[in-house]
Structures are given as C-alpha cells and as structure tokens.
Amino acid sequence: MKPEKGTISGLQMALMLYPAVIATAFLTLPTITAQYAGNDLWLTPILSGISGALTLFLAVRLHRLYPGQTVIEYSVKIIGTVPGKIVGFAYFIFLLYLTGVIARQYAEFVKSAIMFKTPLLVILSSILLLAAIAVRGGVELIARAATILTPVFVIPSFVLLLLLPDLNVQHLFPVLEKGWIPVLKGSLAPNAYTSEFFLMTFFLPLLSNPEKGAKWAAVSIAADLFSGLYASLLVLFLLGPDTADKVYPVLTAFRYISLANFFENLEALLVAMWVIGNFLKLSIFLYAATTSLVQTLELKDYRMVVYPLAVWCVLFSLWDYPNLPSLDNHIKYVSPFELLAFFNAIPLLLLLAASARQVFKGSPNLPAKGKNAVE
C-alpha cells in the first residue's frame, strides 16, 4: 500500500526533517568542528547553509520535474531502467547502513553518558524496535509523533541558557586567527549532515500542499542552522579551548548546570531529549530505507519488510565498528564524503541529466517505449 498524496502537511514534514538531521549533529558536530577550527567553530553551522541550499534546490527541482515521485522512482525515468534500479538499490543499502550507524552513535552516547553497564545490543535493539513499530504504522504515524515529539525535543535545549552566568564571550576572540582554511575544513562535516535534508525527496510526494513544500523544507533547514549555531556558540563560550578535548561537549555543558545547588545532573534531561530525537531520526531513516527497497523492487506492501530491515539495521550498527574510536574516526574522516556523494552529488548528476534531456528532447522523461510509456 503506497501512502497517497495528501497524507502529511508541510509543517509535519518540517517537524520530521528537523530532528532527522539535528539529533546526532547537535551532539557530535561541536567537537569535530572544534578540532579543525578551534574557536571559530561557530562559523561552521553558518557555512553548512551552502549544502542546505544546494540540497533544497536539488530535491525541490527534481520533484517539480517529476511530481509525486521520489528519487528512486525518477532515477529510473532519468537514466534508464537498469542504471536507475542500480541507483535505487544503492540508495537502499546506503540508507540501511546509515540507519545502523546512527543507531550505533546513539547507543554509544547513551551507554557512555548514563547506562554504563547496559550492553550495547540492548540499547540498539530497543530503539530500533521502537523505530520499526513507528515505520510499520506508516508515515502518518511518524508525522504525528514528530508533531508532538519535536517540540519536546527542542525545549530542553533552552535549559542550557541557565549557563548564562558561566559563559565567557571572550572565548570568541581572536576571530579567524588561523584564516579560513581550518573553518572550511571544519565545515565539511556540518555540510554533510545538512545534506541529509535530501530525505525530503521521500516526503515531498506525500504533501497535501506540495507548492508549499519548498517553503517548509527551507524553514526546517534554517531551524537546523540556528540550532547548530546556538549549540556551537554555547559550547564555545562555556568551554573555550577545551571544546575539542571533549567527546560530547553538549553533555559536558548540561553536566555543568548547577542552579542554587539544587538543579543538577541535568544530563539526564539531555539523554531523554536524545532518546526522543533519535527515535524520530531512526524512524525517518528506516522509513526512507524501507521506501527505497519497496520502490526499487516495486513491491505492493511495505509493511512486511519493516521488521526484517530493522534486524538488518542492528547488524549494520555492529558491522565493521569494533569500538567507539573506530566509529568516531569513520564519522570524522569518511562520513562527510559518503553523505555528500549520496545526498548531493548523485542528485546533482540526476538533475543535470534530466535538464539536459529536457533541453534536447523537450521532455524530462525517457522516450515512450510501450511498457515504459510516459504518463
């Protein structure tokens, strides 16, 4: 059963996409960007707007050329059946792998922050089971969950403002002491995370008001940029040069909060916020992975494959990452390239091919060949 058009609203899409990107970015990016840019790390979320704008442009433009279709469906129309199916399958495997990596990042954080003795497998399985139940319920369920849970996810981050007396704005200076190159290197990871907004390609076909889709996606991307800026500045003003030494600077910031010696141990609030954010993120990525498989193989019912794919995500989350440093190493040095390749480079090539086809042949679709006739 394919979800019909009109299933979700633009606002729901924005509320889904926001945690889908920021949930792990909020936690891991400040330290990565601090390691490159030092005290200029606050510039990197601003620069991630480049990828945000590009991703928005690609997803919306491709959706306008092929209304009602996701990247899996129109890649077949742009480059042919066999190459299109290969691209679709590649997206499926990549999204499944990515879901596993995100689950692993989440589980490592929860284990190291609060549940020291809980086996990793328990944390992984519980969140992926929850995400699978949400995906099996359908995109409306995820959308409604996001409508309630995204505000719940956002509000605790304002608790960090309790740190205002401890913040030192002097940590901002000297600005651009080492020039732009470290900032540009540091902005690669935020750009890669922002390119995950390309997942809107799975939601734009389902909007009840598709003409507003671009606007709502832009709202979501802007919110993501501001959240990244807020987290970076806060962590910079609090920790200064120590930001790069912490594995989870935002966790350190939450641990620092002590109001009247009474409000302490607020990292529990952060972990609760994290569980909610990552539940939404994993649901959306698992939904994207399931949809890519269903559309590549042209299956009729997606619900059968959700639970088996969730089991595969558990496997992917363990595969090839023996420990946290190997995961962190991969996320810092390799992940930016793989994310940008799948969410910016491939869509860019698809858009160029579709535009070239439109210029030379007048129609963005492949020529009619009986079975492959254009609608």
Partner 1 sequence: MNKALVAEVTIAVAFIVWFERKRVKKIPGKERTLFVLLLLSAWIMAFFDLPNTPGLASVFDSLFGPLRPLVEE
Binding site for partner 1 (CB under 8 A): 35-36, 93, 97, 101, 119, 121, 125, 182, 185, 188, 297, 299-301, 303-305, 307-309, 311-312, 314-316, 318-323, 330, 332-334, 336-338
Contact 251, 131 (CB under 8 A): no
Q: At what angle do helices 81-113 and 120-137 cross, to 10 degrees?
A: 130
Nearest approach in angstroms of CB 161 to partner 1 is 32
Nearest approach in angstroms of CB 185 to partner 1 is 6
Q: Does residue 190 sit in helix, strand or coil?
A: helix
Give the side-chain half-sphere CA count within 13 A for 305: 19
Residue closer to partner 1 by CB (options 9, 105) is 105
Nearest approach in angstroms of CB 323 to partner 1 is 8
Nearest approach in angstroms of CB 280 to partner 1 is 22
Q: CA nearest 238: which of 316, 319, 150, 172?
A: 172
Nearest approach in angstroms of CB 97 to partner 1 is 5
Within the chain, residue ranges assigned H as helices are 10-37, 43-47, 49-65, 71-79, 81-113, 120-137, 139-154, 180-186, 188-194, 213-239, 249-256, 267-297, 303-318, 324-333, 335-340, 346-361
What's the rounded Cα separation, in Å, for the pair 317 and 101?
5
Residue closer to partner 1 by CB (options 74, 193) is 193
Nearest approach in angstroms of CB 127 to partner 1 is 14
Nearest approach in angstroms of CB 322 to partner 1 is 4
Torsion of CA 320, 321, 322, 326, to 10 degrees: 130
Nearest approach in angstroms of CB 54 to partner 1 is 19
Residue closer to partner 1 by CB (options 263, 319) is 319
Residue closer to partner 1 by CB (options 124, 276) is 124
Within 8 A by CB and 6+ apart from 102, the residues are 23, 24, 278, 281, 282, 285
Residue closer to partner 1 by CB (options 97, 153) is 97
What's the rounded Cα separation, in Å, for the pair 78 and 351?
9
Contact 209, 8 (CB under 8 A): no
Residue closer to partner 1 by CB (options 10, 100) is 100
Residue closer to partner 1 by CB (options 161, 311) is 311
Residue closer to partner 1 by CB (options 218, 318) is 318
